[in-house]
Copies of this chain bind each other. A is one copy, B any other.
Amino acid sequence: MANKWVYKFTEGRASMRNLLGGKGCNLAEMTYMGMPIPQGFTITTEACTAYYDNGKGLPQEVLDQIDENIAWLEEINGKKFGDPNDPLLVSVRSGARASMPGMMDTILNLGLNDIAVEGFAKKTNNERFAYDSYRRFIQMYSDVVMEVSKSLFEKEIDDVKAKKGITYDVEMDVDDLKELVRRFKGIYKNALGEDFPQEAKKQLIGAVLAVFRSWDNPRAIVYRRMNDIPGSWGTAVNVQTMVFGNKGETSGTGVAFTRNPSTGAKGIFGEYLLNAQGEDVVAGVRTPQPISTLENAMPAVYKQFMELATKLENHFHDMQDMEFTIEEGKLYFLQTRDGKRTAPAAIKIACDLVDEGQIDEQTAVKRIDAKSLDQLLHPSFDAEALKAGQVIGTALPASPGAAAGKVVFDADEAKAQGIGGAGERVILVRLETSPEDIEGMHAAQGILTVRGGMTSHAAVVARGMGTCCVSGCGDIVIDEEAKVFTLGGETFHEGDYISLDGTTGKIYKGDIATKEAEIGGDFGRVMAWADKYRKLKVRTNADTPADAAKARELGAEGIGLCRTEHMFFAEDRIAAFREMICSDTVEEREKALEKIEPYQQGDFEKLYEAMEGNPVTIRFLDPPLHEFVPNTEEEIKKLADTQGKSVQQIKDIIAGLKEFNPMMGHRGLRLAITYPEIARMQTTAVIRAAIKVAKAHPDWNLVPEIMIPLSCDEKELAFVRNIVVETADKEIAAAGADLKYEVGTMIEIPRAALTADKIANQAEFFCFGTNDLTQMTYGFSRDDAGKFLDSYYSNKIFESDPFAKLDQVGVGKLMEMAVDLGKKSRPQLHAGICGEHGGDPSSIEFCHRIGLDYVSCSPFRVPIARLAAAQAALKD
């Protein structure tokens, strides 16, 4: 039996979305509901896949079934395709499973040719209308199907109008339009070397192929990558009988939502134009009317529209985005779909629908795009102010929110001028950031870097802080010394204003007004529902008491990752730490570390306090020592004096720390193997802090978790664990306290996952550091991969960034293996994730599936994780 490649609208239902695409299945559903729909048919997404499998050609079966369905359309409309006297005209639209910008635009009026246009004119008794339809068709077909530049056509329109001395398209008469048709066909022939196709079927097949081709255009690929849509889905094509909104003042066309897509407020929201077709509504030539005015213009149509719109929402149980056309007083729906909405609207609509009894809590939880919550928690640009904004570049949307301020080029300057300093709004612009920029980053409104990907230092730290960041803007030419950069043809000096949108990655010239986030009560309701259904705990990655408090406020149930090294960069501590690095003996190192211990202890006390008895995981020192060494001659001199060494000796020490591949160098627990005294100091600080806080809060069950980073071998981990246990037990005994603590490890090296049964002998918990694990599993340096991953996306090799969305096939296989092996040797083992993926919904779903206990993410992603965890649990 032949495959069925084409479905009439009468043959489908809403449930057939995967096969018919969103537009197609809803047209079918509306037909089923008895709505007024111009009939047509849908060529399936499977036909699209077949087209690609077939070396980009349509199988004969598909062609045959299109023919059959055209014949059916001819029959029910009583018109013939290509008929010189009364031609059947159709529209052709793309329609994938998920709504996708970047796909092929609509083609209207398909079926017209030099002869049929005359018949059409006679039949409609409107020659101007017929020729206007024809010239629009040639224009759309040439542009959309044959990729002939739009501007060539616009130039001719301008020329015809200029010659006549008229301003608006509507002022053109039949002769003008005939002239345009002549000229447009000339452009077509000139560009493509052949005449504009006169045969309706040829036009149709051309349009269908163009839709399928557009599935793979670069914009579509980028969009799919950003939105986790697999390339294998394909798009459907909808062929629909034309109805005309441009037949005079009893005709019109419009778009409407059943609720306000920006605010979520209930009530029809939309606009329409009389005597207009398709793109006229959005093209901005005439100003569309608000939908309410239709009540006066055509009361019956208005009433019918309102009833049917409500019927649609009640049927689909969600806010609908509808297109409609009125042809000579008769209303047609051309499309309906669940309306896109802002995050605040999504929250409000979900709550309202629950209150209206349309959906239940679970559905409300499932329906909100977890990622979109980011919008709720950060400042955004004032919509009015943004309209005047001049985009000078676009790079990676590394940390969401909007920011505007004066450009500064180094962290010290940011500190001096920014928050906590002079109080100015500043944007820190850097080639790349490093740990010693932290204070400057804190003082800035936003951060812009030339190098580095979504998980570069700047991106990770900024997300942690909730600070807007745009990273990896390779188009910038920067001279940090001279304090100047150029981008998009503009030059910026220190003090010039720029604005950043960390949600879109856009960079603007000038100072664009921003507004603070507003979190309403509905947000809290949705979060409470989410908490009710999720199984995963949600912790936060926080290094400072402020971050911890923010995360707690956003619902974090503990700290999953405290990166202790960030605590070493304050001025008084870094000095002691550098002394340690430059020491020659264990004793000297211990002396230097003793100076740091009280600071660390104090930090930890504050974190415990902020977390109110919830678990706090402290990761021991991770980065290589060369990240801590001084860079300037002045600092080096100072260190040399402190250490009683020559400047050259200090420089030799610094040079000796240089590494070829620092990511795979002397870092993580490797430092504790070489310098056990560092681990001893950190253990002392963790335990003393816990004893003190536990004493102050006897009702809290404080069990500090010490996390050893970067282990790859049981014996290696045992060595460090022994140091920790020995030190901790001594401290606890000395204090006469009764404190429990746990020692665990990051699983971030493939070998740790491969040998997790052994590793678990030395670890009470695992925490997946999926940033590093992804790096090592792919052999991708996250700081360098940005340069070549673009080619992977454009060649459709990768559809998403493995650093942003967990690679479940490879990295995930290691994680599953690690959980299984680990629990085999230690059934009580608890496991979490604290890489960047801990805040990514699809990755959270995977974590839920493989049985992790918690995810940990930056404070501002905590609500996302709570919602995503609930969605994962509800999927089961």
Contact A664-B749, Cβ < 8 Å, known A754-B813, A810-B712, A810-B754: no
Q: How far is the CB of A850 from chain B (nearest CB, A)?
A: 15
| Interface residue A826 (Cβ < 8 Å from any Cβ of B) | no
Contact A795-B664, Cβ < 8 Å, known A712-B810, A750-B750: no
Q: How far is the CB of A750 from chain B (nearest CB, A)?
A: 4
A673 CB contacts on chain B under 8 angstroms:
788, 791-792, 795, 797
Q: How far is the CB of A390 from chain B (nearest CB, A)?
A: 26
Cβ B713 vs Cβ A783 within 8 A: no
| Interface residue A778 (Cβ < 8 Å from any Cβ of B) | yes
Cβ A781 vs Cβ B664 within 8 A: yes
A778 to B667, CA, bound (A): 13
A662 to B661, CA, bound (A): 7
Cβ A778 vs Cβ B751 within 8 A: yes
Contact A754-B663, Cβ < 8 Å, known A749-B778, A797-B713: no
Q: Which of A662, A788, A798 has the most CB of B within 10 A?
A: A788
A807 to B750, CA, bound (A): 13
A778 CB contacts on chain B under 8 angstroms:
712, 749, 751
A796 to B716, CA, bound (A): 9
Q: How many monomers of this protein are in the complex?
A: 2
A758 CB contacts on chain B under 8 angstroms:
809
> Which segment, of A188-196, A543-551, A769-777, faces chain B?
A769-777
A797 CB contacts on chain B under 8 angstroms:
673, 713, 715-716, 719
| Interface residue A57 (Cβ < 8 Å from any Cβ of B) | no
Q: Which residues A803-841 have CB closer than 8 A to chain B?
A: 807, 809-811, 813-814
Cβ A663 vs Cβ B666 within 8 A: no
Cβ A660 vs Cβ B749 within 8 A: no
Cβ A809 vs Cβ B772 within 8 A: no
A775 to B781, CA, bound (A): 13
A339 to B153, CA, bound (A): 95
A798 CB contacts on chain B under 8 angstroms:
713, 715-716
| Interface residue A136 (Cβ < 8 Å from any Cβ of B) | no
Q: Which residues A646-679 have CB closer than 8 A to chain B?
A: 659-666, 670, 673-674
Q: Which of B772, B784, B814 contacts A666 (CB under 8 A)?
A: B784
Q: How far is the CB of A395 from chain B (nearest CB, A)?
A: 16
| Interface residue A779 (Cβ < 8 Å from any Cβ of B) | yes
A715 to B659, CA, bound (A): 33
A473 to B540, CA, bound (A): 45
A663 CB contacts on chain B under 8 angstroms:
660-661, 664, 779, 781
A755 CB contacts on chain B under 8 angstroms:
809-810, 813
A350 to B600, CA, bound (A): 65
A781 CB contacts on chain B under 8 angstroms:
659-665
| Interface residue A780 (Cβ < 8 Å from any Cβ of B) | yes
| Interface residue A123 (Cβ < 8 Å from any Cβ of B) | no
- Across the interface, name the chain B residue whose C-beta is closest to A713: B797
| Interface residue A787 (Cβ < 8 Å from any Cβ of B) | yes
Q: How far is the CB of A476 from chain B (nearest CB, A)?
A: 12
A665 to B778, CA, bound (A): 11
Cβ A779 vs Cβ B659 within 8 A: no
| Interface residue A763 (Cβ < 8 Å from any Cβ of B) | no
| Interface residue A465 (Cβ < 8 Å from any Cβ of B) | no
A110 CB contacts on chain B under 8 angstroms:
none
Q: How far is the CB of A195 from chain B (nearest CB, A)?
A: 34
| Interface residue A144 (Cβ < 8 Å from any Cβ of B) | no
A749 CB contacts on chain B under 8 angstroms:
777-779
Q: How far is the CB of A217 from chain B (nearest CB, A)?
A: 19
A827 to B783, CA, bound (A): 39
| Interface residue A710 (Cβ < 8 Å from any Cβ of B) | yes
Question: Known pairs A661-B661, A661-B662, A673-B792. 12 more at Cβ < 8 A?
Answer: A660-B663, A662-B781, A663-B664, A663-B781, A673-B795, A713-B810, A715-B797, A716-B792, A748-B779, A750-B776, A754-B813, A776-B779
Closest 9 CB pairs of A and B: A661-B781, A664-B781, A751-B810, A749-B779, A665-B784, A660-B783, A750-B750, A659-B784, A661-B661
